[in-house]
Structures are given as structure tokens and as C-alpha cells.
Amino acid sequence: MRFADALRRPGLGAIAEIKRRSPSAGDLRPEADPADLATGFDRAGASAVSVLVDERFGGGWDDLRAARAATAVPLLAKGFFSTRSDLQDARANGADAVLLLLRDLDDQTTLELMQTARELDLDALVEAHDADELDRAVAIEADVIGVNARDLSTFRIDRKAQLNLVAKAPRNALVVAESGISSRAQGAAAELAGADAILVGSALMRAEDPTAKLAELISRPLVKVCGLTREEDLAVAAEAGADLAGFILVDESPRGTDEVLPVPETMLSVSVHVGRYEDRGADLIQLYEHEDGRVRGRDAVLLRDGEQVARVLDLPWEEEDPEHLHRAQAADDRIVLAGRLGPENVRRAIDAVKPWAVDAASRLEREPGIKDHERVRAFVEAAR
């Protein structure tokens, strides 16, 4: 399969990177075996594998050849390429795609290298790290655009700027969010902003088990603990491994609150509203319709910067529906499944619906708004 085609597959793709060291962080995994890692990443579900072939990262063409001999997964050769000869070397050593850095290349040279890549049956990942470079990538009609959160001059990571650029990229381009991703929530943030794939290197190389770390980053469903009102409950949800923290900003709700608590980098915050909403600084907004005589309507939408990114399929307020899971099974959008989920039934619901995320609130409480910590932990574990 071609590199670009692998990134077009449904869901969030992952490009797993093999690099022994980083100029900013020093040694990461100096003993890395490219063949073993490439095989493991393929098995864990990587869409492609990136191999550093520059000596500043402890890499070389031998690493690319070793990875190529070990797996059929598409390989991205990463280096500072600027000539036709560089691309020929990449192809000869087993690459399916090459990195082109707009920071180092003018538009004419990039266009010539893109044409050379096509002639060599290579895809090109054209990398931008700021708005001007993104505009250039769009203007030259790059098929695959990488948006790097790391400024290669200062090595500073700016995830917010990255997400804003990802969101501005044209939807007809394949977009890869690069650098600064070490948790499922950070990957999900890139996904909801519009990224087709994430490129992860340092987080994998630092992990005790890089293959297991990759599988964790791209696994679904995400887990949301909602109805949080206290810092100690949020801390337990985070420690248990929840990805989304929900805060219900609805006065009539028995688990309502008037603030969105700060969440750790491993999580995304979600503010929950009915009928209308005010921006309270949450990463995402969950908006239910108002329904007379009830605290909320049945279903909700999940919004990012005012744009719908998922549907929340819930039960009617304080009612049951025996067809709830069958109804969710028939939905083909990105689904957040809610409705009296708890440790006892969440696995059955996941197996039946295969949602993007699961959402629990009342079944994790010892009283309204106060979480039962053991049930929170059990819910997250069962949903994994």
C-alpha cells in the first residue's frame, strides 16, 4: 500500500517514528533496532513507519534498509533532503515517502522535488510549522501536509498553534500532526481539529514498550468521566487513565457546577450545556437541546470551536430505552456513547457499538456530583 493511501484509511492513522536521539533531548533509545521496532509498530496498527536517516538523529540508510527488510508497512524516510540525488537514495534504500521541509526549501525547489518524488513513485510529506509555511504548502498543492508542533529552530512545542493550523488546512489534503503527542487525548485533539494521522517519535522511543505505547495512543474508545465537580474526583479520573473530563454547566442538573476545572495535559476538558452555551475555556463543548419538562433533551453534539465533530447518543432524561444500543449501532458518525454506563455494562456496550468514546456520570457516583473513586477506576479499566 502507498504511504498516502495508508493515511486515507478511516479513523486516526499513526506514523510511528524510529529515532535513536534528538538534537533537543539527546539520546532517546540509542540501542533501537529498526527491524524489531518496524515489525512491532506494524503489528500495533501503525499506518506507516518513519525512519530517521540523518546522523544527527543517530540514523542512517542502514536503518531504512533494515526496516524495509522486516515489514511491508509504508516507510517514510526523514532527513534534510534538498536534491534529486537525496530522493533517489531514499527510493533505492526502500522508502515509500520522503520528508520535504519548507523551512529549508523555497517553493520552486519544493515543486521540483515533489515532481521528482512522483517520477520515483514516492509520496512527499511537505512539512509546515507556521501559518506562512502552511499557506505555501497549500499553494503548491501538496498532497500530504505535515504540521509540526515543534519549532525546529528553538525546539519549542506549541500544541495550540499546531491545532489551529491543522484546523485551517484544506479538507482535501491529507494532514499529519507531528510532534508533541504523548497521550490519547492529545492525539484525539489533533483528530478533532482535522488531522488524518499523527506522527509520534519521542514518546514511543522513551516508552518501556514502544509497541504497547503506540497501540495505546490510537486505541478507541476514548473514556469520558462526566459530572465532575471536585478537584479530587478529577485527579482520580486522570490517574485512572480517563481521556475526557466533563463539567456540567447546567443549574438544574443534580451534578451541575459553575466552573471548568483545569485538567492535566493527558486529558481534554468538555463543558456540557443545554440549549445554548457560553465559552468557558473548555477544549470541547457538549450541547444538548432544551426539552420542556426535562433537564435536557436526549442527544447532544460535540463541538470544537463551534464546529460539530461528533454526536453524543444518550438516553432520554431519567428514562430507559431497550433499543438504545441498536440505535447507536446504526449510526455512522463519530459517536460518543452515553446513557447509564458503568463498570458493569460498558464493555458490552463497546462491543456492540464500537463507539469513538464512552461517557459516564451518574453510575460513577456515591451521591450526585460526588464520585465513587473505585467505580471511576473500574469504569476506565473496563472501557480499556
Length reported for the chain: 384
Q: Within 13 A of 296's CA, how many CA atoms are on the CB side?
A: 27
The per-residue pLDDT for range 56-106, each reduced to its tens digit, is: 888 899 999 999 999 999 999 999 999 999 999 999 999 999 999 999 999
Q: Quote the pTM value.
A: 0.94
Q: Within 13 A of 227's CA, how many CA atoms are on the CB side?
A: 22
Cα 67 from Cα 70, distance rounded (Å): 5
Does residue 152 have a pLDDT over 80?
no
Q: Considering the chain, tell me which residue range(s) the CATH 3.20.20.70 domain(s) occupy.
A: 3-218, 222-383
Does residue 151 have a pLDDT over 80?
no
C-alpha cell at 218: 490510537
Residues known to be catalytic = 17, 19, 78, 127, 148, 178-179
CA distances from 150 to 95, 158, 173, 177 (A): 24, 7, 21, 10
| Domain 222-383 belongs in CATH node 3.20.20.70 | yes
Contact between 129 and 151 under an 8 Å Cβ cutoff? The reply is yes
C-alpha cell at 196: 488524518
Where is 267: in which H helix or E strand? Answer: none
| Domain 3-218 belongs in CATH node 3.20.20.70 | yes
Give 26's pLDDT tier (boundaries 50, 70, 90).
confident
Does residue 258 have a pLDDT over 90?
yes
| Residues 299-338: b if buried by 16+ CB within 10 A, e if exposed | bbbbbbeeeebbbbbbeeeeeeeeebbeebeeeeebbbbb
The per-residue pLDDT for range 291-347, each reduced to its tens digit, is: 988 999 999 999 999 999 999 999 999 899 999 999 999 998 899 999 999 999 999
Does residue 25 have a pLDDT over 80?
no
